[in-house]
Amino acid sequence: MSDPIRSRRGGAPPTPNEPKPAPTLEECLLDLQDLIEHARSMPMSASVLVSRDDVLGIIDEAMRGLPEEIQRARWLIKERDQFLVEARRDANLIIESARAQAERMVERIEIVREARRVADQMVFDAESDARRLRNEAEDYVAGQLLKFEETLEDILAVTRRGRSRFALQKEVEEEVEEEQDFFDQDYLDDE
């Protein structure tokens, strides 16, 4: 594969003893796009000629990067779950604190009524905050998982287009060989 395509990743090239970091799926897709955009066009066709080894190499890198992307998605889910546990624990602490405060205010009837109203409001506020925090965490994780799904769909689409182009390229090569064989027969007949 050519290094100019890889140069878009930035950073210094790895030293000979240092292992190359696995590219992200997005980097692989950008490399594949560059390869196709800079490929030589087929005469009288919208198709291009690309090196099978280059495309397969990029697809191989993308496949090696998939476990990292999946691990990142699992990490996000784990972080969300931890966040929800902490939010519930905080909400329970707030609720318990509100109840304890309400019990301390039970000296007079007016104070008791006010304490109940305040405690109920605090419980309501705490539950509302806990719901809001839980919804925000779930929305964030859902957004991250959607991005991951879109990335996987992009890889699948690029892979399918690549396979179609290889099949078309093979057909064109077979037609060219048949035409050459046909013209070679005319030359042999003239002798």
Beta-carbon neighbour count of residue 23 at 10 Å? Answer: 19
pLDDT for position 19: 64
Look up the pTM and report it: 0.32
Q: Answer yes or no: is 186 within a domain.
A: no
Does residue 10 sit within a domain?
Answer: no
Residue 18 is assigned to a structural domain of this protein: no
pLDDT for the residue 103: 74
Reading the chain (191 residues) residue by residue, the pLDDT tens digits are: 444 444 445 545 556 666 666 777 788 889 989 988 888 888 888 888 888 898 898 888 888 877 777 888 888 889 989 998 998 999 899 889 988 877 776 566 677 788 889 999 999 999 999 999 899 989 998 998 899 899 989 889 999 998 888 888 888 888 877 777 666 555 555 55
- Please, are residues 20 and 3 in contact by the beta-carbon 8 Å criterion? no
Give the domain extent around 150: 23-39+48-178
pLDDT the model gives residue 86: 92
Number of domain units in the chain? 1
Structure confidence at residue 98 (pLDDT): 85
Q: What is the rounded CA–CA span in Å between residue 137 and residue 133?
A: 6
CA distances from residue 39 to 5, 32, 49, 137, 167 in whole angstroms, order as listed: 12, 10, 6, 44, 17
pLDDT of residue 99: 82
Residue 84 lies in a domain: yes
- Which amino acid appears at position 29 of this protein? L
**Inside any domain, residue 9:** no
Rounded distance between C-alpha atoms, residue 134 and residue 128, angstroms: 10
pLDDT score for 13: 55
Q: Is residue 32 part of a domain?
A: yes
Query: Which pair of structure tokens corresponds to residue 48?
Result: 């291009």
The 3 state secondary structure assigned to 100-156 is HHHHHCCCCHHHHHHHHHHHHHHHHHHHHHHHHHHHHHHHHHHHHHHHHHHHHHHHH
Is 71 within the bounds of a domain?
yes
Residue 189 located in a structural domain? no
